[in-house]
Structure 1
């Protein structure tokens, strides 16, 4: 397949990442239509990902690696590097001429797109503001005390405290209990609050360890070079509770 030239706005990190995506796509021998059939993402979404118009989500990267029979870890590390320097103006230009719903799995395309987009934009803005406030509070506890300010995001409350050089968010004191995809309850909420403190965005603090929370756990694991399995066990709890 003859590939189009990549957008000039992409820097070296973006070009290296998209180049590897193209290499895996060529190696798989699949067309865009075939990729649509074998993954939750549409052919038009894959066209944008593979031509550097839109940064693909982690789920799309993992799906392509699986199809090509490759380890997704190195490719996800390239994606992390590309994400830090991805030209958001390029993203905005690409999105302006396309349907934003195509970047979600086809099964999740909203029926009332204008309303869904407005709600999503408002939710993302609120989540970003609360995340920044929670992270600032956790990293800068009040003078003379060991407890930060409580904040409620979703169903649970994140109340950061420090004990024996460890951080707790007020939902669970777990240190080794395994929490993983589809886990629910206080342990999952504790993981979500601690991810916020590490400047990661697990979504609502609702006590549900869904795919988004799992993706952020994997990101933390990659950053700290521990096995990237998305499961919070003893080693990952230590990372989450570590006082920076």
Structure 2
């Protein structure tokens, strides 16, 4: 089959991984329908993985390797490298990232961007990337420090009856959903994970991220409180059923991929 061009924003490790997966699929005469029938993943999920729209979970890589009698280790190494690259660049300003006006943050004018890198300047790309990364981390650190100072003032000086948003030591409380599109993935502002296991009675930011993303899929997990109760579990199962994934109510790599996918 004739494959479409991979996105230019795809990092080298992810690009090599997708190219290897495409080669294995074509060499063994597999179709998306066959992959859906022979693996736990739907045809639409495989379409996203093979066109670089979403990073395939390790179980998908292992499934394709098993179908084609190929060693999974080299493919998994590429997959882990691609995941590390994504984690390193998640906080960087990206062209094409969509957010509401209240959520958009402008980069400082003296920070170099991809569009300002002209011909003959390719050798400075890595240095510029590190500079941007440093600026982004400084901004995040400053915002966190400011939030901590304001929160301390509110708790000390406001009456208890005000009912301020708070998170307990167990990770349960009130969280906010701040949606930002990152390529073909959706982030909700509480956790960037795409692999941590979240299940019944889990607590913390990962759970809040699940609850926010469920709402993006028009499901109703209840309050975004960081507690994975029966209601959240039921909505996770509903999402899994919609995409023909075993409805076990557990959020792992496969279900994170469903939650973060931008339809």
| Larger relative contact order (CA 8 Å, sep ≥ 6) | 2
Q: TM-score, normalised by structure 2?
A: 0.37
Higher radius of gyration, 1 or 2: 2
Q: TM-score, normalised by structure 1?
A: 0.40
